[in-house]
Every structure is written in structure tokens, then in C-alpha cells.
Amino acid sequence: MLEKLDFKKGNGLIPVIVQDAKTKEILMQAYANKEAVEHTLKTKKATYWSRSRNELWIKGETSGHTQKVISVATDCDYDSLLYLVEQTGPACHTGEYSCFHNKLL
């Protein structure tokens, strides 16, 4: 299935939506390259590509706020992913549980 993922549309990156497996709350959105997805599938530790640091980023490696990946799904076009995770601590770097805490409507 990994070979079907379309990394070309996003210049080698695809968006990853992260959802709490228990509550179904959307926790965050990040990006992954092929190496990050392979690492996630192998270790079940949510791994992303940090665009600001230009390197692989294993969620919680420094903060302790880890994401154990329960399942990975792709959308119909194979150009984005959905990770269902068991979240430890807040997902957002601000300390909020979800990065989607700023309400517009």
C-alpha cells in the first residue's frame, strides 16, 4: 500500500491528520515524507517531517507527549493520511490537548 502514496503532489510530503483513537478528537495536522511513514509503520511511533528543522521528528521524543499509532488510513487519492493514535499528554506545543483550539465560528 505504501507504494500507492502520492508524495509528488506535495514535493515529497503528504499531510497527516492525527485523531485521538478513543475520543475521535482531531489533535493536529503535520507532514510526512516516505521515510517518516515507513518509520511510523515499523515502530508505531508517530513520525513526521519537520519543515522548520528539515529533519524527521518523532512526536514526543523531547516533550514526552507521545503518539502510539493504532491505525493508518489513506484518503481516496492516496495523497493524505489519517493516524488514529493513543495520545500521551497534550498534542499541541502550546500545552493544549488539541492544536485545533482556536475557534473561528
Does 105 fall in a domain? Answer: no
Global confidence as pTM: 0.94
Does 95 fall in a domain? Answer: no
Does 14 fall in a domain? Answer: yes
Domain that holds residue 17: 2-87
- Look up the CATH number of the domain holding residue 7: 3.10.20.810
Q: How many domains does the chain have?
A: 1
Does 47 fall in a domain? Answer: yes
In whole angstroms, give the CA distance from residue 75 to residue 21.
17
Low-confidence ranges of the chain (pLDDT < 50): none
* C-beta atoms surrounding 33 within 10 Å: 18
Mean pLDDT of the chain: 96
